[in-house]
C-alpha cells in the first residue's frame, strides 16, 4: 500500500442548502487552517434558501496552492438528491463518506473507492432531543468522522467552536457531542484509510488571516473614505455593502454623535447609481456595489457620469451571466460591459484585484482614481474572490494622502482670479485631458456651472455645435489615455530566455500560479503577467512582444480581455491563445494545464 500523502487532500462535502452544513463546513475548514496547514475553501451554492444541492470543497495543500482542485479525494455524500452522481466525482482510490442509517445511501455502491459509512442520523437521534436543530446537528457527525480518518485534532476543533460560538457554551457543547460521536464511531469500527494524513504545522498559518474579498473590499472602501454608499441587494455583491454597514459604525468615529457616512438601500440599481452620481457631483466619495444585472440597469447613468465627468465608484462582483444566469456561481464575463458601459463612445477605468490585499488596497485607491480622473471607476471582482474564504497575509494599509484631483475650493478660485485665470469646467487647462472642477456649496462667484448629460462646450454651456461636441469627446479620450500612466501596473514574473507567456487577471491568478508550477514540472517554462487594470499599460504590449506564444486565461466565453488587448495591439495580439473557463466554477489549475497542452498540441499539428 502507498504511504499516505501529508497535508495534501481535497475534500468535497455534498449537502442540501439550508441544512446547517455552512456551519459544519466552516468549522472543518477553520480547524485545518488552525492546524497550520495551507488550505482553501470553495463554496458552490445554489440560488435558493433551503433544499437545493450545495457543495463545499476544502483543499489542504502543503505547497500552498489555493485554487479549486478538480480531483476530489474524499466525497461526503450527505445529499440523497445528488449522491448517485457525487459518488462518481471521487477519484479512483478515493473515499466516499456516507450516512449508512439512511436507506437510499446504503444502496449506493461504486467500485475502486473506499466507502466509509457511519450512522449519522441514528447517532444524532440518540444525542439530540427532537427539534429543528437535530437535522442540522447531523452535519456535525461528518466533521468528527473526517477528523478521525485524517487526523484533525479534536482539541483544535473545540477551539474553533469556542471562537465561533464564544458566548454560547450550550451550542459549543451540543455541536461537540455530535462531532465526537462521529469520531468515536469510526474509531470503534476501526476504520482505516491510507490516502492522506493531516499533520499540524507549528506556526504554519501564523499571522495569516481568513477573509472574503467582499469584506476586504468593504474595509478598503472605508479606509479610502467612501461616505455615500447606495446599493441594492444582489448576489454576490450584497455582503460588500453589508460589511460596510457592519464596519462603518465600528470604524469611523461619529462627529458630535452624528454619522460621517450615509448608507442607503435603494429601491433598485437605477436609483442607487442615480444617488451616487448625485453625491459624487456634490463632492462626496460615493460608491455602489452590484453584479451583472445591476450593472446592466445602471448603464444610462454611468454614461451621464462619464460625459458630465463625475467621480463615483462601482464594485462589480461578477457572477454567471447572461440574464439571471448563474447568480451564485463565478465568472469574469462583464469586462466588456464595464469597459464600455453606457451608450455612445465610452471607456472606463477598471481596477482588478486578485487577492485579499488587492481587494482592500484597490478598493481604497479607487476613490483617488475617481476623483483624479473625475469619472466612474470600476472595481472588477467576482464571486470566487468576493464570497469564498481566502487565507491571506493581514490587510496592509498604505497611509498615502487622499488624492482629490483638480477640485478647486473657493480660496483656490480667489487665487485664480488674482492670477487672471478663468475657471472653465470642461476646458483642458493642463493638456492632460483632465479639467478642473468645483462642487456645489463653493461660495466663490466663479464656482457655479450647469452640469448636463447633453452636449456642452468647454464652459459647460449647452451646445450642439460640432466643434464643441468633438472637443469634449476627444478630451475625454485624452483623459482616458492619461490614466494609463496612473493605473496599477501589471505584476510580471519572468525569466530570461522563456518564450511562452501566460496572462491572466483577477481570481484566475491563483490557479494560474499553480498551473505554471505544473507546466514547469512537465517541461514547459512560462513567464507570467497579471493585469491589474484597464486601460492597458505599455507593459502589456512589451510582454506580447517579448514572447512567441501568449496564453490568456479568462473566465468568459468570448475572450473579452483578449479582444481589448487585440484591439490595441492588432499585430502582436495574434500571439494570443485564449484559455477560457466559463462553467461557473472557480478555475482549477488542472483545467488551465489541460487547455494549454491541448492548445500547444493543436498548434504543433497545424
Partner 1 sequence: MAEAKLNKLNLTEKDYDGAPSTMCKGCGHDAISASVQRAYYESSIDPRKVVKLSGIGCSSKTPAYFLSQSFGFNAVHGRMSAVATGVNLANHMLLPIGVSGDGDTSAIGLGNFCHMMRRNVNITYIIENNGVYGLTKGQFSATADVGSVMKGGKVNDIPAIDLAELAITLGATYIARSFSGDRKQLTPLVQGALAHKGSAILDVISPCVTFNNHEGSTKSLKYVKGHLDPIHDLDFIPPYENIEADYDEGTDHEVEMHDGSRIVLHKLGKGYDPTNKAAAIQAIHGAIAEGKFLTGLIYYNPNRKEFAEELNLCDIPLSELGQDHLQPPLEALERINADMMK
- Smallest separation, CB 387 to partner 1 (Å): 16
Q: Which is nearer to partner 1, 291 or 438 (CB)?
A: 438
Q: Which is nearer to partner 1, 205 or 429 (CB)?
A: 205
Give the rounded distance of the alpha carbon of 242 from its chain centre.
Answer: 16
Q: Does 163 bind partner 1 (CB under 8 A)?
A: yes
Which of 173, 415, 462, 474 is the binder for partner 1 (CB under 8 A)?
462
Q: Does 246 bind partner 1 (CB under 8 A)?
A: no
Which of 47, 121, 451, 549 is the binder for partner 1 (CB under 8 A)?
451
Q: Is the bond leading into 249 cis (omega within 30 degrees of zero)?
A: no
- Smallest separation, CB 449 to partner 1 (Å): 7
- Smallest separation, CB 320 to partner 1 (Å): 27
**CA 246/CA 259 separation, integer angstroms:** 14
108-117 long-range Cβ contacts below 8 angstroms, 24+ apart: 108/77, 108/83, 108/84, 113/87, 114/193, 116/145, 116/149, 116/186, 116/191, 116/193
Contact string (CB under 8 A) for partner 1, positions 389-428, x = contact: -----xx-x-x-xx--------------------------
- Smallest separation, CB 440 to partner 1 (Å): 4
Q: Does 273 bind partner 1 (CB under 8 A)?
A: yes
Q: Does 268 bind partner 1 (CB under 8 A)?
A: yes
* Angle 13-18-20 from CA coordinates, rounded to 5°: 60
Q: Does 440 bind partner 1 (CB under 8 A)?
A: yes
**CA 500/CA 197 separation, integer angstroms:** 37
**CA 535/CA 349 separation, integer angstroms:** 6
- Smallest separation, CB 306 to partner 1 (Å): 12
Q: Which is nearer to partner 1, 108 or 209 (CB)?
A: 209
Q: Which is nearer to partner 1, 334 or 361 (CB)?
A: 361
Q: Which is nearer to partner 1, 173 or 268 (CB)?
A: 268
**CA 135/CA 125 separation, integer angstroms:** 9
Burial class (CB in 10 A: 0-12, 13-18, 19+), 201: middle
| Residues 6+ positions from 207 with CB-CB distance below 8 Å | 393, 394
Phi–psi pair at 56, nearest 5 degrees: -130, 120
- Give the containing element (helix H, strand E) for 339: helix 335-339
Which of 183, 261, 306, 369 is the binder for partner 1 (CB under 8 A)?
261
Q: Does 62 bind partner 1 (CB under 8 A)?
A: no
Which of 85, 259, 422, 470 is the binder for partner 1 (CB under 8 A)?
259
Q: Which is nearer to partner 1, 63 or 267 (CB)?
A: 267
Q: Does 452 bind partner 1 (CB under 8 A)?
A: yes
Q: Which is nearer to partner 1, 51 or 440 (CB)?
A: 440
- Strand 53-61 and strand 8-16: the pairing is antiparallel
- Smallest separation, CB 44 to partner 1 (Å): 23
Which parts of 275-334 interact with partner 1 (CB under 8 A)? 275-286, 300-301, 304, 308
245 with 68: CB under 8 angstroms? no
Q: Does 156 bind partner 1 (CB under 8 A)?
A: no
Which parts of 338-397 interact with partner 1 (CB under 8 A)? 394-395, 397
| Residues 6+ positions from 285 with CB-CB distance below 8 Å | 224, 225, 226, 227, 228, 311, 313, 367, 370, 371
Which three three-digit cell numbers place residue 491?
A: 505584476
Which three three-digit cell numbers place residue 480?
A: 482616458
How many residues of this chain interact with partner 1, rule: CB under 8 A? Answer: 75
- Per the listing, cell 510580471 goes with 492
**CA 134/CA 121 separation, integer angstroms:** 9
| Cα-only R_g, the chain | 27
**CA 315/CA 221 separation, integer angstroms:** 10
Q: Which is nearer to partner 1, 116 or 460 (CB)?
A: 460
The interface region with partner 1, picked from 14-22, 149-157, 254-262, 519-527 by CB under 8 A, is: 254-262
Q: Helices in 166-203 by DSSP H: which ranges? A: 169-189
Sign of CA dihedral 29, 30, 35, 38: positive
286 with 228: CB under 8 angstroms? yes
- Smallest separation, CB 382 to partner 1 (Å): 21
- Per the listing, cell 451540543 goes with 174
The interface region with partner 1, picked from 57-65, 265-273, 512-520, 541-549 by CB under 8 A, is: 265-273
- Taking CA atoms, 395 is separated from 100, 245, 455, in Å, by 44, 19, 44
Q: Does 230 bind partner 1 (CB under 8 A)?
A: yes
Contact string (CB under 8 A) for partner 1, positions 208-227, x = contact: xxxx-------x--xxxx-x
Which three three-digit cell numbers place residue 60?
A: 489542504
Q: Does 66 bind partner 1 (CB under 8 A)?
A: no
The interface region with partner 1, picked from 126-134, 196-204, 245-253, 473-481 by CB under 8 A, is: 245-253
Q: Does 251 bind partner 1 (CB under 8 A)?
A: yes
- Smallest separation, CB 377 to partner 1 (Å): 17
Q: Does 437 bind partner 1 (CB under 8 A)?
A: no
- Smallest separation, CB 403 to partner 1 (Å): 10
Amino acid at each position: 500500500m502507498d504511504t499516505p500523502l501529508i497535508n495534501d487532500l481535497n475534500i468535497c462535502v455534498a449537502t442540501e442548502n439550508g441544512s446547517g452544513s455552512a456551519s459544519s463546513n466552516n468549522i472543518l475548514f477553520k480547524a485545518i487552517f488552525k492546524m497550520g496547514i495551507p488550505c482553501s475553501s470553495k463554496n458552490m451554492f445554489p440560488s435558493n434558501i433551503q433544499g437545493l444541492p450545495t457543495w463545499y470543497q476544502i483543499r489542504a495543500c502543503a505547497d500552498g496552492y489555493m485554487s479549486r482542485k478538480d480531483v476530489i479525494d474524499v466525497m461526503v455524500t450527505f445529499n440523497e438528491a445528488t449522491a448517485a452522481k457525487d459518488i462518481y466525482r471521487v477519484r479512483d482510490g478515493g473515499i466516499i463518506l456516507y450516512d449508512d442509517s439512511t436507506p437510499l445511501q446504503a444502496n449506493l455502491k461504486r467500485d475502486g473507492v473506499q466507502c466509509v459509512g457511519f450512522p449519522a442520523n441514528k447517532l444524532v437521534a440518540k444525542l439530540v432531543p427532537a427539534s429543528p436543530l437535530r437535522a442540522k446537528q447531523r452535519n456535525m457527525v461528518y466533521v468528527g468522522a473526517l477528523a478521525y480518518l485524517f487526523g484533525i485534532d479534536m482539541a483544535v476543533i473545540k477551539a474553533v467552536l469556542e471562537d465561533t460560538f464564544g458566548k454560547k457554551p450550550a451550542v459549543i457543547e451540543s455541536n461537540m457531542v455530535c462531532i465526537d460521536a462521529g469520531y468515536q464511531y469510526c474509531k470503534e469500527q476501526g476504520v482505516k484509510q491510507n490516502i492522506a494524513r493531516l499533520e499540524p504545522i507549528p506556526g504554519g498559518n501564523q499571522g495569516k488571516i481568513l477573509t472574503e474579498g467582499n469584506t476586504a473590499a468593504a474595509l478598503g472602501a472605508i479606509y479610502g473614505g467612501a461616505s455615500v454608499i447606495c446599493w441594492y441587494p444582489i448576489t454576490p455583491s450584497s455582503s460588500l455593502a453589508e460589511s460596510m454597514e457592519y464596519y462603518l459604525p465600528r470604524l469611523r468615529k461619529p462627529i458630535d454623535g452624528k454619522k460621517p457616512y450615509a448608507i442607503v438601500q435603494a429601491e433598485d440599481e437605477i436609483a442607487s447609481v442615480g444617488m451616487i452620481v448625485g453625491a459624487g457631483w456634490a463632492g462626496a466619495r460615493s460608491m455602489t456595489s452590484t453584479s451583472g444585472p445591476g450593472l446592466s440597469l445602471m448603464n444610462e447613468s454611468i454614461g451621464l457620469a462619464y460625459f458630465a465627468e463625475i467621480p463615483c465608484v462601482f464594485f462589480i462582483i461578477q457572477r454567471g451571466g447572461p440574464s439571471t444566469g448563474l447568480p451564485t456561481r463565478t465568472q469574469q464575463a462583464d469586462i466588456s460591459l464595464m469597459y464600455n458601459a453606457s451608450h455612445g463612445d465610452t471607456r472606463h477605468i477598471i481596477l482588478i484585484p486578485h487577492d485579499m490585499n488587492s481587494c482592500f488596497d484597490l478598493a481604497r485607491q479607487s476613490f483617488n482614481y475617481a476623483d483624479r480622473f473625475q469619472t466612474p471607476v470600476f472595481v472588477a471582482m467576482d464571486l470566487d474572490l468576493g464570497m469564498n474564504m481566502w487565507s491571506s497575509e493581514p490587510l496592509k494599509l498604505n497611509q498615502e494622502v487622499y488624492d482629490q484631483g483638480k477640485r478647486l475650493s473657493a480660496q483656490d478660485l480667489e487665487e485664480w482670479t488674482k492670477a487672471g485665470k478663468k475657471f472653465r469646467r470642461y476646458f483642458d487647462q493642463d493638456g492632460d485631458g483632465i479639467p478642473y472642477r468645483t462642487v456645489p456649496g463653493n461660495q466663490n462667484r466663479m464656482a457655479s456651472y450647469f452640469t448636463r448629460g447633453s452636449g456642452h462646450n468647454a464652459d459647460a454651456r449647452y451646445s450642439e455645435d460640432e466643434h464643441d461636441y468633438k472637443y469634449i469627446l476627444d478630451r475625454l479620450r485624452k483623459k482616458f489615455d492619461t490614466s494609463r500612466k496612473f493605473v496599477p501596473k501589471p505584476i510580471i514574473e519572468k525569466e530570461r530566455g522563456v518564450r511562452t507567456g501566460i496572462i491572466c487577471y483577477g481570481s484566475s491568478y491563483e490557479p494560474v500560479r499553480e498551473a505554471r508550477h505544473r507546466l514547469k514540472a512537465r517541461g514547459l517554462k512560462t513567464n507570467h503577467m497579471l493585469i491589474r487594470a484597464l486601460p492597458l499599460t505599455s507593459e502589456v504590449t512589451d510582454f506580447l512582444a517579448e514572447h512567441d506564444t501568449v496564453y490568456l486565461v479568462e473566465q468568459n466565453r468570448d475572450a473579452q480581455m483578449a479582444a481589448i488587448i487585440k484591439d490595441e495591439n492588432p499585430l502582436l495580439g495574434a500571439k494570443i491563445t485564449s484559455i477560457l473557463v466559463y462553467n461557473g466554477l472557480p478555475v482549477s489549475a488542472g483545467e488551465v494545464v489541460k487547455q494549454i497542452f491541448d492548445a500547444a498540441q493543436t498548434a504543433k499539428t497545424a
